[in-house]
Every structure is written in structure tokens, then in C-alpha cells.
């Protein structure tokens, strides 16, 4: 039984700076979204990819995927929403009822190795309803009392770094479990920033499996420089 992957790609990419929506910005001459969809489609665990396009860019995204040979029954495009959470919910709604395993993967993580996709899907299949890939942190992390930009921020404490993980995507879920928390979240404002966070918020169990340093998210301009370098190394 194959998994379906939902790809939220409807963000503006404010932190990347002015330009096209982030998912449509290019890496090695190919849109981030195309890299991400290919990375998922390369996995033998994935049978369907649902792309959540910018609401005003559905036709453009369909055309773009088409022009990169990514059209057909195994790729669908839906309109995303105003928040990542809404985009994922709209993507989930487009998945056929008989699919049991759902992966959610940011379009902004174009270089995720197929091994990570496979490992997450396998962990869900083996009975974990919520699985996230993650890596240890390089930096020490401090919790602070936030202040207006530029003002010194008092430190509250320093969590033991060995217990911290930076989480990536694809995150993998039992479809019913993910669907349930997205419905519950409709009537409650949360500060949650990822899908596993929603599961946790409503009392569910989440496990972490090893991620990969190349699954980093393209967020700021420097990330694009790094991604270009990783791609060049792969192509060498």
C-alpha cells in the first residue's frame, strides 16, 4: 500500500526576499517545487503527490510541473491556503480515501535524500502514527524573554543540547490521525508550526527518526547559496 505525499508550496517566501513565491524560485535552473516533487516521486513508497499551490497560481504550477515531465495520475495540484496549516488541510482533502499513510513535505526542502523519505514512510508503516526526521543541533540554544528588535534579551535558561533536535520534513502520519488533528485545529488557534506539533498539541505520540543535513529548508538567501553548492556537488 503506497503513501501519498502532500507538498505545501503556497508560501510567499518573505524571508527569502523579493521575487516569485518561494516554491517557484529556481535552484540549478529548476524550481524548488520541482526538485521537491522529484525527491518524493523517487521513493518507491510514494504513489501520489498532492501539491498545494499558491491560491492564485494553480494554473501556473500545473504548467510548470507539466513542463518538467511531472504530469499525470500520480501528481495533483490543489489551491493552498493563507497559512501552512491550511494548505496542508486542503492537500489532505484531495487524497483518495483508501490511502493510509500520508507524508507532508515542504516544497522549500528541495534536496531531501530519498533515503529519508523511505525511512519515514517505513516507520509509519511499522506502526508509528506520527514520525518526524530530525538532526542534532550544532549551536547551543537559549530561551529568552523576547524584546523589541535589537534590544538585549534576558536569558531564561539553556536546554541541554543533547536532548534537542531540529526537525525536518517529510513528516509521516497515519492518515486518520493527521486528518483528525487538522479538523480539531480548525476551531482552535495554536502556535504550532509543523504537523507533528499538531499531533502533540492534541495529546498524540510522535517519534523522531534520523534526518539528513541536506534536507535543510531554504528559508533565507544564504540557504539558496548552500543549496546551489550541494546541487553542484551532486552533479559533479
List interacting residues with ligand CTP (CB under 6 A): 8-15, 22-23, 52, 80-84, 87, 106-108, 217, 219
Query: Can you tell me the distance from the alpha carbon of 120 to that of 131, in angstroms, rounded to the nearest whole number?
Result: 6
CB 218, min distance to Mg ion, A: 12
CB 204, min distance to ligand CTP, A: 21
Measured from the CB atom, the residue of 50 and 203 that comes closer to ligand CTP is: 50
Measured from the CB atom, the residue of 19 and 159 that comes closer to ligand CTP is: 19
Measured from the CB atom, the residue of 86 and 214 that comes closer to Mg ion is: 86
Measured from the CB atom, the residue of 11 and 31 that comes closer to Mg ion is: 11
CB 227, min distance to ligand CTP, A: 13
How many residues contact Mg ion, by CB under 5 A? 1
The DSSP H or E segment spanning 41 is: helix 32-41
β-strands 101-104, 3-8: how paired? parallel
β-strands 130-136, 171-174: how paired? antiparallel
The count of other CB atoms within 10 Å of the CB of residue 233 is 9
Residue whose C-beta lies closest to ligand CTP: 11
Query: Can you tell me the distance from the alpha carbon of 58 to that of 87, in angstroms, rounded to the nearest whole number?
Result: 13
Query: Can you tell me the distance from the alpha carbon of 107 to that of 53, in angstroms, rounded to the nearest whole number?
Result: 10
> Which parts of this chain interact with Mg ion (CB under 5 A)?
11
Amino acid at each position: 500500500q503506497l503513501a501519498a505525499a502532500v507538498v505545501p508550496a503556497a508560501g510567499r517566501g518573505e524571508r527569502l526576499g523579493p521575487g516569485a513565491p518561494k516554491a517557484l524560485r529556481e535552484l540549478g535552473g529548476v524550481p524548488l517545487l520541482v526538485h521537491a516533487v522529484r525527491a518524493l516521486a523517487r521513493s518507491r513508497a510514494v504513489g501520489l503527490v498532492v501539491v498545494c499551490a499558491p491560491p492564485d497560481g494553480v494554473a501556473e504550477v500545473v504548467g510548470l510541473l507539466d513542463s518538467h515531465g511531472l504530469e499525470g495520475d500520480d501528481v495533483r495540484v490543489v489551491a493552498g491556503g493563507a497559512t501552512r496549516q491550511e494548505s496542508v488541510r486542503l492537500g489532505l482533502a484531495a487524497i483518495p480515501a483508501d490511502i493510509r499513510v500520508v507524508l507532508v513535505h515542504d516544497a522549500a526542502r528541495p534536496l531531501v535524500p530519498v533515503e529519508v523519505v523511505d525511512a519515514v514512510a517505513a516507520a509509519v508503516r511499522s506502526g508509528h502514527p506520527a514520525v518526524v526526521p530530525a538532526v542534532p543541533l550544532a549551536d547551543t540554544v537559549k530561551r529568552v524573554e523576547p524584546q523589541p528588535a535589537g534590544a538585549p534579551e534576558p536569558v531564561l535558561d539553556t536546554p541541554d543540547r543533547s536532548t534537542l533536535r531540529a526537525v525536518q520534513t517529510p513528516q509521516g502520519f497515519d492518515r486518520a490521525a493527521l486528518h483528525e488533528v487538522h479538523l480539531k485545529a480548525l476551531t482552535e488557534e495554536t502556535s504550532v508550526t509543523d504537523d507533528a506539533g499538531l499531533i502533540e498539541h492534541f495529546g498524540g505520540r510522535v517519534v523522531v527518526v534520523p534526518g539528513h543535513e541536506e534536507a535543510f529548508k531554504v528559508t533565507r538567501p544564504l540557504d539558496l547559496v548552500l543549496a546551489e553548492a550541494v546541487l553542484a556537488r551532486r552533479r559533479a
